[in-house]
Amino acid sequence: MKISNLKIFYILFVLLFNSKISYSQLSIANIFGDNMVLQQNEENYIWGWAKKNQKILLKSSWLTGELITATNEKGYWKIAIPVPKADLKQHTIEISAGITTITLENILFGEVWLCSGQSNMEMQVKGNANEPIIGSNEYIASSKNSFIRQCFVKQNYSATPLNDCEAKWEEAHLNTVANFTAVGYFFALQLYKSLQVPVGIVNTSKGGTRVEAWMDREILKNEFKETNLSEIGTDKMVFQTPTVLFNAMVNPLVGMRIKGVLWYQGESNIFGSPKKYYSLFPAMISRWRSLWGQGNFPFYYVQIAPFEYQKEKKSYVIRDAQLKTLDIIPNTGMATTNDVGDRWNIHPGQKKEVGDRLSYLALNKTYGYRNILCGGPIYKGMEIVKGSAILEFKNAPKGLTTFNKPLTGFLIAGADKVFYQAKAKVKIEYDKPHHKRRPLLEVYHEKVSNPVAVRYCWSNWFTGHLYDTGGNPASPFRTDSWDN
């Protein structure tokens, strides 16, 4: 971004003699800047501030003529700008008000995805202290790619909604990628390889945060009246306070044209009342979509990874709430992590697999490449045959596999509700009328002659090796609704 020297002198002159200026000079929201990616094939919006009732002119390197608007009584302006198909060229935008002109350079058209959540989304490609990202050195060393870019939103909190935030766009190269969100970067890397168009990721994430912090006051006040919306404190838990991250790190982005959202959060909601996540998480997705006004844009999220939480903590409740959200909210997808957890580290290092699995969801569901399997097998139904539970799965069009790994993590119980570590094996059976392989699994135990319930990976720590043939793990599930 640059402003001419003459105009800088004028601005300084005015500021020197009028210290009470409020939005008297042209400015733009900080999420727009040099190196940014605009969503291709869409009408995008750019906004900012100047003095009230002032004419704003916008010129771009790809449009003929000018776009014109004016500020309102509060000095706010907003311009809709059509963005064509990605052409891999660098573009510029000039925005003028009076004698002041702001120039934005090195702009690309491509696919823009918002990345949000807590520490496993925040975790950078370089890793944390004593918590590595597997392969980070190699990925950083080979990261130079001007078509992959991150907009980093500085972490902040606020008791009330903010209009702007601190943010900066950067190209991917050896000196920047180390600080990119690892999950977001690996997603962008695979998306770029597959689509051959620029990819922009907007990283607005903060570790140790509850979903309520990412929700706005109106929905919490109206739909979750039990939520404490009292005044924000200043203790170390402030970032978990309801609304504070939405106010500071989401509200300033609302209206920015995006393709969809990537979300990795839920660990912090294990502590407290995890059952609330069944309603909080779907409500947050719906609310964000409503505020953005882009319809049901794609919302793809990561099911939290296995970890040895304290015994009384019920991380499987959060995983089940995430699974159930698929049936509640349209145009969602879930990347499972059964096989990439770390028993003693809540920040597992295999982020490449997570980013890739999110990209498979996008490539299949958003971009229409149906041969790319995504999401993993999902429990569909059960029947009892000769003392065994025969489980059927959906979302596994080519059947089930273990990739020659042991099939563990299954529990089976009869009417007495006593669970046993079960044996399981993949069954090969064809739907004769349609000549299609049915994704079936047989689960059994010699002490349970009449099974009633089966559970899979229904614990805090586990390793699950049931996959679709594309390598996407099956989600943990249970067939019962018992309280324990």
Q: Report d(CA 356, CA 186) in Å as an integer.
A: 6
pLDDT digits (tens, 9 = 90+) for 49-67: 999 999 999 999 999 999 9
Give residue 2's pLDDT. Answer: 62
8 A C-beta contact, residue 451 and residue 384: yes
8 A C-beta contact, residue 408 and residue 367: no
pLDDT digits (tens, 9 = 90+) for 402-435: 999 999 999 999 999 999 999 999 997 776 665 5
Q: Report d(CA 399, CA 401) in Å as an integer.
A: 7
Give the list of residues 6+ apart from residue 435 with CB closer than 8 angstroms, or none: none
CATH of domain 110-366: 3.40.50.1110
Using 50, 70 and 90 to split pLDDT, how confident is the model at 83? very high
Reply yes or no on whether the pLDDT at 441 is more than 90: yes
Single-letter amino acid code for the residue at 36 = M
DSSP at 63: S
Give the list of residues 6+ apart from residue 85 with CB closer than 8 angstroms, or none: 40, 41, 109
Q: Report d(CA 121, CA 116) in Å as an integer.
A: 6
Task: Write the DSSP string, 223-249.
Answer: H-TTS-------STTGGGSTTHHIIII
DSSP at 190: H
Beta pairing class for 400-401 and 436-444: unpaired
Using 50, 70 and 90 to split pLDDT, how confident is the model at 190? very high
Distance of CA 19 to the CA centre of its chain: 42
The mean pLDDT value of the chain amounts to 93
What are phi and psi for residue 352, nearest 5 degrees?
-60, -45
Give residue 236's pLDDT. Answer: 64
CATH of domain 5-109: 2.60.40.10
Q: Which two tokens stand for residue 19?
A: 């210290």
Give residue 429's pLDDT. Answer: 77
Single-letter amino acid code for the residue at 215 = M
List helix spans (H) across 214-372: 217-223, 244-245, 277-292, 315-328, 351-361
